[in-house]
Chains A and B, each alone.
Chain A
Amino acid sequence: MSVSKVKKGVREISPLDVYMLLPRTNCGKCGESNCMAFATKLVNREVLLELCKPLIEEEKYGSQYSKLKELLAPPIREVVIGVGETAVKVGGKLVMYRHELTYTNPTPIAIDVTDEMPEDELLKRIERINNLKYTYIGRTIKLDMVAVRSTSNDPAKFKLAVQRVMSTTKLPIILCTFNPDVMKAGLEVAYERRPLIYAATELNWRQMADLALMYNCPLAVFAPNNIGLLKSLTKTLIEYGVEDLLLDPGTFPDEGIADTIMNFTMIRRSACKLGDNLLGFPIIGVPMTAWSLKDAPKEVLQWKEACLAAMLIVRYADLLIMHSLEGWSLLPNLILRANIYTDPRKPVAVEPGLRVYGSPDENSPVLVTSNYALTFFTVQSDIESAGINCYLVVVDTEGYAVESAVAGRKMTAQTVADALKSSGIESKVKHRYVIIPGLAARLSGEIEELTGWKVLVGPRDSSFIQAFLKENWPPKVS
């Protein structure tokens, strides 16, 4: 971000500015009927510039392309923390609402350790951070970063802790202290890993800015419940020459939730909808402030922290710092993050049709499911892990899960009948028994009428398929 651009302050891009830089041939390759329509969508952040193929492919538009790129840079700056494979990109958001395009860079979750933890405790925590993994729709989801807090305020202790963390994890690091001397001690050992410096405040901003410049590391700015100060600090720091900034407007538990959510929302709207460059940086949420409510039992704090985190994942946090390492409290948020950051433009349906598992024969069971990707992968993994030989007929439910497909009439006796027919299953098995999902039980009578197949109502969750077959297959001839 150039200083001159910041000086212009709040401004909006007009579709006309964008239109003037497009090829203006109205060729329609972008999917819009003309360049002006495309320009309007670009300004609304509803499409990506790269959809205008001529602009990218034809050399003569080269300089227009780069001007447009600058003009349309994401309203939220993208900042890289860490190096190499485990580096995380933070921010880079193009839109305020996910339906306007998609959210980029899923909120990384950092877990804290302190420089006063006994060595074995610290190592145990790091090991758990490294190894906590869950498989979800064929993807591994996990924790992303380590935040090292200086509770000692002692440069030597901090340095030692940072060293220990570095030697036990490759994950990107956040160095947390408001004391520039302590920060410097940490940076001396960690700077090559490009850690995040947390944080510059009203009091220490100059020293922190010097460190950020000297070590070329991103810098967080902390101004609890004071967006005016936050903005003043980013303005100052940009002028000072620090470009990779993150904003922490403060995360307040309990009664503070109101202002916390309000601050995050105001910052994001100012940046995305009003073009306020000084607030166009990734926002840090710190749900672990729930732990400042010391007197409460551990489970309550874990619970409260998880609730704060969920609200902030939904409301614009680009990075979270958390304390609890409990699987039960982390899993909902790891999954929520995966959900919210799913690209809404991508279909979540798999190809309908016949799938074959193991080596089924003419007596093997025939199961039916929906073509919603998550349902399908879940059913598939349950069949595979149980080692069942069977056929699975995937019905085209237009990407709806079984329950909503039945409610929304995407899975009906007719669509099931069509799927059975077109799958060619009739020539593969000599029986005529089909197992439908328990959640589609309502359709059984009609399916029998329409297809002549006998319906067995299967379990409501596919983890019970194996048990179900044990009991019900081969079917008792009635």
Chain B
Amino acid sequence: MVERKGGADEGALIKIGPKLLDLLREFGEIELENVEIEAEELEIWIPSATVVTPPAAAPPKVVPAKPMEILKAEFEPPIQTYQGRIVEVKLGATRSEGGTREKVVKIGGEAAPSFYIFEEAPPNPPVISADVFDMEVPLPRAIKMHVQDVIGDPAAWAKLAVDKFGADLVTVHLVSTDPLRKDASPSDAAKTIEKVLQAVKVPVIVGGSGDPKKDAEVFKKIAEVAHGERVMLSSVTLDMAEAGLLGEIAKAAREHGHVILAFTAMDLNQAKELNRKLYDYLPRDSIVMDLTTAALGYGLEYSFTVHERARLAALAGDVELQHPTSSGTTNAWAAREAWLKLGSEWEPRELRGPLWETVTALTLLLAGVDIFMMMHPAAIRTLKEVIGNLYKRGMVKPESIADWVSIKI
């Protein structure tokens, strides 16, 4: 996470972000009928026969036996079959399932590459989890302005993310447990999670501090306290396995009915290795993979390709990769282009930033990511809308763009 410090123009903050949100919201309500091109603009004037005289510089080629009618060619959708299928993972649990969630989220289950909807639309739409922090952390200004009232109050923040931003679930990052920061205790962390579970009805993802030992303690405590809620513990690593911490976390997850996010750094062999280690403790439907998300401009192509390869390999039958994936899309803000002032022709950055996050998300959406951990409300809203639209097969009206060439803007 990055922050531009002490900008001289702090007072002249352009409130374009919230405005954009309103705009996007409004826009969703406009009926297509209202924006159809006027009939007269649709007319294309086609002369019956055009006699063309070649200019001296380019003599015509002589081509024998030109067709006079359109020659018909058949098109068959190129449908393929796959041996593999991604396992379905359920996050959250209702009362009847042993939890207290009113909404649960199912991810995975795909039997075709991402949005190859001529084969099969993803049985479970990708979902968005909004990032919530349990203490003040450096945030880009474009994000901060949307959450400033709830910083330091993770329950209120989670509620805002669900009610106002439209998040499907929330990720509570327990940054305060970091030994290098507040070193908050596992039971303090558990209290935070309990509060969030009370504040929202959606499933919850529990984010650690990145310190393997401390995360192990925190995850075990939370697994116990949130018994039956089917939270996702984010995340475990090969480091933890090496330090002998993986088993206890995975056992706690199993015992209390939770899901584990397995993080590896853009390396499919490592991802498989970590999953194999987890299989000793957990059923396959309790494992989600984080293959690392790099920001647009700062390695996104690696993330894109590692996800695309993982998904294709899984469909081709590699069972160790047949898990849904989760992306830390908020990493997009690590790109300076997302938040830095770059000069007037690239402004306003209040729009550039959320678009940066959105484009990072869209790229990974088409590589097969199932859960997006995001921050900016406009990015969240756009991704949700695009995912919705990707299911609307057969809705196009060719005439709506047939004369795009002469539209007046």
Contact = CB atoms under 8 A, between A and B. Distances in A.
Contacts of B386: 257, 307, 311
B403 to A, nearest CB: 7
B299 A401 contact: yes
Nearest to B299: A401
Contacts of A409: 239
Given A257-B386, A295-B30, A198 B405 contact: yes
Interface stretch (A38-46, A51-59, A81-89, A328-336): A328-336
Residue with the greatest number of chain B CB neighbours at <10 A, chosen from A250, A286, A329, A331: A331
Contacts of B239: 409
Interface in A227-251: 227-236, 239-241, 250-251
Interface in B16-69: 16, 20, 23-24, 27, 30, 32, 34-35, 37, 44-47, 49-50, 52, 54-55, 57-58, 60-61, 63, 65-69
A232 B366 contact: no
Contacts, number: 333
Interface in B243-299: 263-267, 292, 294, 296-299
Nearest to A192: B57
Nearest to A335: B297
B407 A292 contact: yes
A225 to B, nearest CB: 5
A427 B91 CA distance: 56
B58 A191 contact: yes
B144 interface: no
B404 interface: yes
B105 interface: no
B179 to A, nearest CB: 10
Contacts of B340: 463
A98 B265 CA distance: 20
B23 A300 contact: yes
Interface string A393-436: 00000001101110111100000000000000000000000000
Chain A interface secondary structure, helix, strand, loop or mixed?
helix
Interface stretch (B182-190, B219-227, B351-359): B351-359
Contacts of A407: 210, 237, 263, 265, 292
B7 interface: no
A232 B61 contact: no
Interface in A149-199: 149-151, 153, 176-181, 184, 188, 191-192, 198-199
A299 B23 contact: yes
Interface in A202-225: 202-207, 210-211, 213-216, 224-225
B12 interface: no
A465 interface: no
A58 B145 CA distance: 67
Nearest to B409: A291
A403 B293 CA distance: 11
B124 interface: no
B7 to A, nearest CB: 12
Contact of A178 (B44, B180, B395): B44
B82 interface: no
A315 interface: yes
B345 interface: yes
Contacts of B50: 180-181, 184, 207, 210
A99 B309 contact: yes
B164 interface: no
B71 A339 contact: no
B300 A151 contact: no
A324 B391 CA distance: 27
Interface stretch (B115-123, B147-155, B196-204): B115-123
A311 B118 CA distance: 17
Interface in B354-409: 355-356, 358-359, 362-363, 366-367, 382, 386, 389-396, 398, 400-409
Interface string B101-144: 00000000000000111100000000000000000001000000
B41 to A, nearest CB: 9
Contacts of A441: 180
Nearest to A240: B66
Contacts of A239: 65-67, 71
Nearest to A226: B398
Given A303-B351, A333-B359, A228 B75 contact: yes
B363 A314 contact: yes
B78 A274 contact: yes
Contact of A250 (B117, B138, B401): B401
A339 B400 contact: no
A275 to B, nearest CB: 11
B320 interface: no
Contacts of B54: 214
Nearest to B350: A328
B1 A460 contact: yes
A99 B352 contact: no
Contacts of B355: 303, 306-307, 328-329, 332
A336 B1 contact: no
Given A191-B58, A254-B32, A266-B118, A310 B363 contact: yes
B206 to A, nearest CB: 18
B265 A404 contact: yes
B46 A339 contact: no
Nearest to B41: A151
B352 A331 contact: yes
B27 A184 contact: no
A205 B50 CA distance: 12
Contacts of A184: 50, 52
Contact of A296 (B27, B74, B77): B27
Given A262-B393, A289-B404, A329 B351 contact: yes
A342 interface: yes
B318 interface: no
Contacts of A213: 60-61, 63
B45 A339 contact: no
B363 A336 contact: yes
A269 interface: yes
Interface in A442-478: 442, 460-461, 463-464, 467
Q: Looking at A98, A269, A464, which has the most chain B CB atoms within 10 Å of its CB? A: A269
Given A240-B66, A289-B401, A255 B392 contact: yes
A329 B211 CA distance: 38
Given A250-B401, A296-B23, A214 B366 contact: no
B8 interface: no
B359 A97 contact: no
B378 to A, nearest CB: 8
Given A150-B406, A269-B78, A338-B297, 17 more contacts: A98-B304, A177-B406, A191-B57, A235-B73, A262-B118, A266-B77, A266-B78, A297-B27, A303-B355, A310-B359, A328-B352, A336-B359, A407-B292, A410-B265, A441-B180, A461-B2, A461-B336
26 contacts: A98-B308, A99-B309, A136-B297, A149-B406, A191-B55, A191-B57, A202-B70, A216-B58, A235-B71, A239-B65, A255-B32, A258-B390, A259-B396, A288-B404, A291-B409, A297-B27, A303-B24, A311-B362, A311-B386, A328-B355, A331-B337, A335-B297, A339-B300, A340-B304, A404-B292, A408-B292
What 10 pairs between A and B have smallest CB-CB spacing? A408-B265, A241-B63, A327-B346, A328-B352, A224-B398, A255-B395, A231-B73, A339-B301, A228-B75, A332-B359
